[in-house]
Structure 1
Amino acid sequence: MATPTLDKVSSPGQDSSHLVTVTFRIRRFNPEVSAEASWQDFEIRIDPKERVLDALHQIKWENDGTLTFRRSCAHGICGSDAMRINGRNRLACKTLIKDITEIKDGVATKPVLVEAIKGLTVLKDLVVDMDPFFQAYRDVMPFLITKGNEPTRERLQSAEDRERFDDTTKCILCAACTSSCPVFWNDGQYFGPAAIVNAHRFIFDSRDEGGEQRLEILNDRDGVWRCRTTFNCTDACPRGIEVTKAIQEVKKALITRRF
């Protein structure tokens, strides 16, 4: 396996002693070239305090322009750069190189493995088809539902009522939780943790009147009862949402019809 080497270009007089050598082993897939995916190594010199996203940029811009991945804000808000890094779902823009590999004498002792998230069809390299994920999100009606005439003043809500669903408002739709779920891997029809989290956000909103509708949607055979409580989703969430807890609260609301 060829291992291209990149040396970060330093300006005259610039100290590069802080740079280390890291091998990034990336799972590549290009349907126009081959029906099979393969691993490719890239050895680069980089500051270990940089992020995996910075390393991917360096590889794409200076070594292989065909490397394909998604990213937008690069600050952990858009959620577009979710990928598997060393076997765990993470955001590339929030993962520091020094936190995922051991450095000894200026060289990483093991390669950093980067691949696309699981459970969704890989389109190219680290890019997956997000359509099924977003369809499940749309299916739970992630918007405020009210009845009657348009209000003449703001719909007020107490701090306590807002706190009830505060945790699930943090979702950035990165799909890290859903694509870490073994049930979703085996059956793409399952709504998945992210859709349930976003349903939770409105089911428990005191201003909303569509809770019963959402609960019936999640009471489907591919809904909330498919969860096996493995906690993978909670571990994978880059925003620290207690995903498994939210799923259990939706299950309880289905049984008691109290929310």
Structure 2
Amino acid sequence: MATPVMDKSQSEPGAGGTATDTPYITATFRIRRFNPEVSDEATWEDFRIEIDPKERVLDALHKIKWEIDGTLTFRRSCAHGICGSDAMRINGRNRLACKTLIKDINPEKPITVEPIKGLTVLKDLVVDMEPFFQAYRDVMPFLITKGNEPTRERLQSPEDRERFDDTTKCILCAACTSACPVFWNDGQYFGPAAIVNAHRFIFDSRDEGGEQRLEVLNDREGVWRCRTVFNCTEACPRGIEITKAIQEVKRALITRRY
């Protein structure tokens, strides 16, 4: 196994300090590599870098890409836990690379980084998100109303808004869906994220499309496939109570009250 190494110069001496005073540690990142143009098989590659442990895994990936191997491929955008594009498996758990501090994942041992599960890997840490987004589109994640276009704002009480506040936090990172064992074994399952986004509108007092969404989720690949193992809730970087939302959708299907 090749081990590319990036050496970092020791810090410059400052007032009251010496050239050996440095916050940096040497950490090994073991990254799962896949390039369909080179091989049909994925391999693991180690990169040893010097980095401040208070930095994030995303910072380490940038160092590796910019200073060691420019072919390393991964998605990222805002780098602040909002866009959700850098979800990946870090030390066996789904996380956002931009929110995971190196010091919090035991840098004394090799830190494993691999793509999220259940979706086709296109290259390195990049997966095909189309099945995930298709499930999202299928639940109609937009306000549905009847009648003429309103002439004034649709008002809503704070209490009504609070009813679905938690599920408005979803950033579509797919961390929850790709942590679900049912999704791993059945790519047709809508998955937690789609159900969460359906919940956001089913329980919106201004919306009139609840019955349509419930019928979509009543499908054999819908909400009933959930086995309530809580992987999704544990994986969510936004702290959404996903399993609770799924149970509320199930209850609404049975009672038709929402």
Alignment partners' CA distance in 2, 1:152 and 1:10: 66
Which of the numbers 76, 83, 86 marks the counterpart of 1:78? 83
Give the distance between the partners of 1:199 and 1:9, measured in 2 at CA.
Answer: 52
Counterpart for residue 224 of structure 2: 225
Report the number of matched residues.
253
Q: Which moved more, 1:15-24 or 1:188-197?
A: 15-24
| Structure 1 counterpart of 2:3 | 3
Matches within 5 A, 1:112-123: 112-123=111-122
**What letter corresponds to residue 121 of structure 2 in structure 1?**
V
1:33 maps to a residue whose letter is V
5+ long unaligned stretches in structure 2: none
1:1-259 equivalence runs, <5 A: 1-9=1-9, 12-13=12-13, 17-101=22-106, 108-259=107-258
State how far apart, in whole Å, the 2-side matches of 1:30 and 1:8 are: 29
| Deviation of 1:109 (Å) | 2.5
Q: Which structure 1 segments of 5+ residues have no match? A: 102-107
1:197-242 CA-to-partner distances (Å, cap 9, x unmatched) read 0000000000000000000000000000000000000000000000
Instruction: Name the TM-score, length of structure 2 as normaliser.
Output: 0.96
On the 8 A contact 2:30/2:110 being kept in 1, the answer is: yes
Tell me the amino acid that sits aligned with residue 36 of structure 1: E
TM-score by length of structure 1 reads 0.96
Query: Which position in structure 2 is the counterpart of 1:105?
Result: none
Deviates more, 1:125-134 or 1:10-19: 10-19
